[in-house]
């Protein structure tokens, strides 16, 4: 039985990775189209009434002493020209409209001095009226066209358009979810944008969780738990998308195709996927490289306090590990096995597997046992001297005073 994870949801709405699907979206689109059609018919009804009204107005007033039929035709043509201008202006932007209006106004102002000059001349009245109207129409038209074309400059100066920032998409691989450190990185807010979980990655993670191997099953369930943990982070947006590439052979190639199509970055711990994606010009975020970059910088001569965990390859070496897994090889530390000591760093080597630190036992640590042995020897010597003096005091003193000598009597 596969474990169920209700919080692993699929997000398909308004995503650049997957088109909007589903009955609610279809119904909403139909409503929008119906409303658009209704509004369009209303506008065309108003336009038809405008044409009819203009034609009837010209028919009744007979402008320019035209016959009623000719006046009606003139009104009809005039209404069509106005409708054409209205349809063209609807597609114009606000800066274009402002530029055209400003240009037309400036053109009319430029035509006023010309009409004043013409009014002072001795030209006949019909010619003078024609020249004045021509000056107003020509300069007004030139101002309108030039202002319309220069509306782009006005747009850049007054209506600066700020393009919407593109979404930064991060595709999560199966390995990075099983690893689990990506959740800590997200909680620390070092990952921005949208975290995308393709459905084929989630399917692979589910297969690992359903494996008969206990170790693989545990790793798969850990990956699903990490995904749940990421989804619960407030400032992180997670999307599970349905995009698939049946022509791709495996999950790695599907990730590469998806990243290339959507200009996304791949977040992985897989060494081979990292190399293949990098060769193809894709951006890859490797959590292992991030961990190596965040390891503490240690310089030769610095003091460190480490716990000697095991023996080294050399006769007197001891091996310790830092919290981030960096190996520390200490010369002369074998006798301090399973003890915490102070060491002095001698050199640092960067290898393909990571960073290695070499050091030696601090002089103070070496002097401490020697001083302890000297103190013990001095204490033992002092104890011996005190014992001898105590025994000397307990022994009675010899009587060296002169004694009388009595001669032996001869027994007769």
CATH 3.40.190.10 fits 303-365, yes or no: no
* Nearest alpha carbon to residue 5 among 312, 343, 238, 162: 238
Q: Tokens 């002072």 correspond to what residue?
A: 120
Strands (E), 352-392: 354-361
Phi-psi region of 180 (alpha: psi -120 to 50; beta: other; left: phi over 0): left
Question: Are residues 12 and 241 in contact, defined by beta-carbon separation less than 8 angstroms?
Answer: yes
Report residue 69 as tokens.
């039929």
> Which helix (H) or strand (E) segment is 266 a member of?
strand 265-268
Listed residue (249, 275, 272, 248) closest to 261, CA to CA:
248
266 forms bridges with which residues in the sheet? 171, 284
What's the pLDDT tens digit per position in 353-385?
Answer: 667 899 999 776 555 554 455 555 555 555 555
Same topology for domains 169-293 and 303-365, yes or no? no
The yes-or-no verdict on residue 28 having pLDDT over 50 is: no
Rounded CA separation 161/86 (Å): 25
pLDDT at 153 over 90: no
Query: What separation in angstroms does the CA of 219 have from each of 177, 198, 268?
Result: 9, 19, 16
Residue 398: pLDDT band with limits 50, 70, 90: very low
Domain ranges of the chain: 18-91, 93-161, 169-293, 303-365
pLDDT value of position 412: 39
pLDDT exceeds 60 at position 12? no
DSSP string, 64-99: GG--HHHHHHHHHHHHHHHHHHHHHHHTS-HHHHHH
Contacts of 275 (CB under 8 A, 6+ apart): none
User: Looking at per-residue confidence, does 390 or 318 come out higher?
Assistant: 318
Specify the pLDDT at position 165: 57
Helix (H) or strand (E) holding 241: strand 237-241
Checking if the pLDDT of 320 tops 90, the result is yes
Q: How confident is the model at residue 111 (pLDDT cuts 50, 70, 90)?
A: confident
36: CB partners within 8 A, 6+ apart? none
Which of the pair, 364 or 94, is modelled with greater confidence?
94
CA 80 – CA 69 distance, rounded (Å): 17
* Separation CA 207–CA 147 (nearest Å): 65
DSSP state of 190: -
Which residues fall within 8 angstroms of residue 277, CB to CB, at 6 or more apart? 255, 256, 259, 266, 268, 283, 284
Q: Is the pLDDT of residue 215 over 50?
A: yes
Exposed/middle/buried for residue 197 (C-beta within 10 Å: 0-12, 13-18, 19+): buried
- CA dist., res. 32 & res. 43, Å (int): 17
Q: Which CATH superfamily is domain 169-293 in?
A: 5'-nuclease (3.40.50.1010)
Residue written as token pair 């001349």:
121
Q: How confident is the model at residue 5 (pLDDT cuts 50, 70, 90)?
A: very low
DSSP 267-312: EE--HHHHHHHHHTT--EEEHHHHHHHTSPP--TT-EEEEE--EE-
- Per-residue pLDDT band for 306 (boundaries 50, 70, 90) equals very high
Per-residue pLDDT, 108: 82
pLDDT tier at 121, thresholds 50, 70, 90? confident
In this prediction, residues 388-404 reach a mean pLDDT of 50
């Amino acid at each position: 039985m596969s474990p169920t994870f209700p919080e692993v949801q699929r997000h398909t709405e308004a995503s650049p990775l997957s088109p909007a699907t589903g009955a609610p979206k279809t119904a909403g689109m139909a409503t929008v189209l119906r409303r658009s059609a209704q509004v369009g018919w209303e506008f065309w009804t108003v336009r038809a009434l405008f044409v009819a009204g203009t034609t009837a107005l010209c028919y009744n007033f007979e402008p320019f002493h035209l016959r009623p039929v000719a006046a009606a035709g003139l009104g009809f043509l005039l209404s069509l020209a106005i409708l054409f201008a209205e349809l063209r202006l609807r597609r114009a932007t606000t800066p274009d409209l402002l530029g055209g209006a400003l240009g037309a106004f400036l053109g009319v102002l430029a035509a006023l001095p010309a009409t004043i000059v013409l009014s002072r001349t001795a030209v006949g009245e019909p010619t003078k009226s024609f020249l004045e109207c021509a000056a107003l129409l020509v300069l007004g038209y030139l101002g309108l066209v030039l202002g319309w074309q220069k509306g782009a400059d006005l747009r850049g100066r007054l209506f600066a358009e700020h393009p919407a920032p593109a979404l930064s998409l991060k595709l999560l691989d199966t390995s990075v979810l099983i690893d689990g450190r990506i959740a800590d990185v997200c909680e620390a807010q070092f990952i921005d944008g949208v975290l995308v979980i393709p459905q084929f990655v989630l399917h692979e993670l589910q297969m690992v969780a359903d494996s008969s191997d206990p170790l693989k099953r545990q790793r798969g369930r850990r990956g699903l738990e990490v995904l749940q943990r990421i989804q619960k982070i407030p400032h992180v947006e997670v999307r599970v998308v349905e995009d698939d590439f049946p022509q791709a052979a495996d999950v790695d190639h599907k990730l590469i195709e998806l990243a290339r199509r959507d200009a996304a970055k791949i977040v992985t711990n897989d060494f081979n996927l990292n190399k293949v994606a990098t060769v193809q010009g894709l951006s890859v975020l490797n959590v292992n490289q991030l961990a190596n970059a965040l390891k503490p910088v240690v310089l030769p001569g610095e003091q460190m306090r480490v716990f000697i965990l095991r023996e080294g390859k050399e006769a007197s070496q001891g091996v310790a590990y830092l919290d981030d897994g960096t190996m520390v090889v200490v010369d002369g530390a074998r006798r301090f096995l399973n003890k915490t000591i102070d060491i002095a760093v001698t050199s640092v080597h960067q290898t393909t597997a990571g960073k290695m630190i070499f050091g030696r036992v601090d002089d103070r640590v070496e002097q401490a046992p020697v001083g302890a042995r000297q103190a013990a020897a001095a204490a033992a010597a002092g104890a011996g001297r005190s014992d001898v003096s105590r025994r000397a005091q307990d022994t009675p003193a010899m009587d060296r005073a002169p004694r009388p000598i009595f001669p032996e009597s001869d027994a007769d």
